Structure 1
């Protein structure tokens, strides 16, 4: 325990040297629009129905920062005076409603025919050239509103677009939070099979990565999507 606390590259060892207490800022992302009611059955089919209900809320970032100071990258646990605590897959499943059993969420890092993939699964493409991400602005502009005459195929395409926005904008955000990688789109080709992937495990892995990153004294912000789990009603599990 002492060897963990004495780590020189951990924020906990730098607090006494700071002129001003470090309170992490947030990078809050969200989809920015509500899904059309006709999308709900398809979102629920893929088990993203609960995740679609996620909304931004006010958080105490001084308390989040205090939690980060207790996070140990070596063990992926919070070291508190009362003992070690951990965020579990069950916590993620209860809060986000995502499946935690099944296949690992993986995909190819390079899509050879991105425009073809988008036409097949979304019905349209942002470009005919080579691209590997979809901008949230494009997703919103093309799928926020559905015509009253939309077919089942068009509704399903819009559901895939909304899930892509959820993945990149809320659940597995990157540093910039303005786009999502195409690698996830093939996993949405059959929405019934989408639920066979352990999306909750992927979210928890990124949560751990974000907590580890912010223990660095030079870190100034924390991903808003990740702290929805740590800042919400997480039921910590005490280790023996």
Structure 2
């Protein structure tokens, strides 16, 4: 991936700048969602497994979620960024202390949306500057119908595990994700392969059995959904 584009930006330069800004991983993908992940999305929606998150089945948003080019027709490349938020100590150790409440690791810090968006905008400005102002960008951090985990796998920064989250060989599942859509035609990375094999530890670890099958999430049984997205009482 050393070929320079006409805008004089190489992947190596992009990756170095991303790390300088504070991102731990950086990859580039084409604005395409593969057929397998489109099918998984369709099955998730058809089965009503999104619970009360009605926007997942919104007739305007769903096609955009399936196809990034419908979200922004001018996009040529998707830069996928990740920031590690893994704790120094194993949070599972708290299970040995039933007298203590458990708080999700991500919730113990500042709102990641603000932090990641600030970094994304900084990198996006650099991309525009490097292109002499000839290119356009849009930044997303859980703010638009973007299937960021399949794009993350396509960009080479990790693979989508059986628990449906992105898994990095270096950082595990501890990555906050964000994307820069750009009209810049960047050299794409090699997609990461699935390294899960026969392992099912992530599925067995779920206390509410929210995974009816590998790579299949039923949000209605997910603690994260029930405590953040669901407005009604927890069943």
Q: Which has the larger radius of gyration?
A: 1
Fold match, TM over 0.5?
A: no
Looking at both structures, which has the greater relative contact order when contacts are Cα pairs under 8 Å and sequence separation is at least 6? Answer: 1
Kindly indicate which of the two structures has a greater share of residues assigned to helix.
Answer: 1
TM range (shorter): under 0.3
